[in-house]
Amino acid sequence: MIEQIKTFDSNTLAFDVIEGFTEVDEKLFQKFFEKKLEQGYEQVNILVKLDELKITESSIKAFMEDIIWTFRNYKKMGNIAVVAHSRILKALVPIDNLFFQRLKEGREERYFDVSQLDEAMKFVDSKA
């Protein structure tokens, strides 16, 4: 299930993934993302908090749909903050940055520990 952590009057979305991630969650996220684009923003900054995510309760189909959707919409994404308490995710974020280097044009993906949630919020809500 996803929950909005905070609503922003800017091009920013912030979500907490709790327990599992389902196809309904994926569609809901897409709906919020499209709404930001409809408001006139060219890019949307995203904060996703994953410390309560349980892979065993998540849908593989939802993850696959999310990956495909991300590839199709990556140029519309601004800064991305991944908030978790995971060595694996901490290691994967820099790899993601290298992989998407040419597409990003000044945008950045950063990993933040759960204790740095406020810093992560500032990162994605910066008016750069």
pLDDT digits (tens, 9 = 90+) for 39-83: 999 999 999 998 877 777 778 888 889 888 988 998 899 999 999
Could you give the CA distance from residue 2 to residue 25 in angstroms, rounded to a whole number? 6
Binning pLDDT at 50, 70 and 90, where does residue 9 land? very high
- Count of the separate structural domains present in the chain: 1
pTM: 0.87
Evaluate whether 52 touches 18 at the Cβ level (below 8 Å).
Answer: yes
pLDDT in tens, 10-25: 999 999 998 888 899 8
Please report, for the domain that includes residue 116, its CATH number: 3.30.750
User: Virtual CA dihedral for 94, 16, 11, 117, nearest 10 degrees?
Assistant: -60
Domain span at residue 40 reads: 2-124
Q: What is the pLDDT of residue 128?
A: 46
Q: If you average pLDDT over every residue of the chain, what do you get?
A: 87
pLDDT in tens, 118-127: 999 999 997 5
Report whether pLDDT(95) > 60. yes
Alpha-helical regions (H) of the chain: 23-38, 60-73, 87-99, 101-104, 117-124
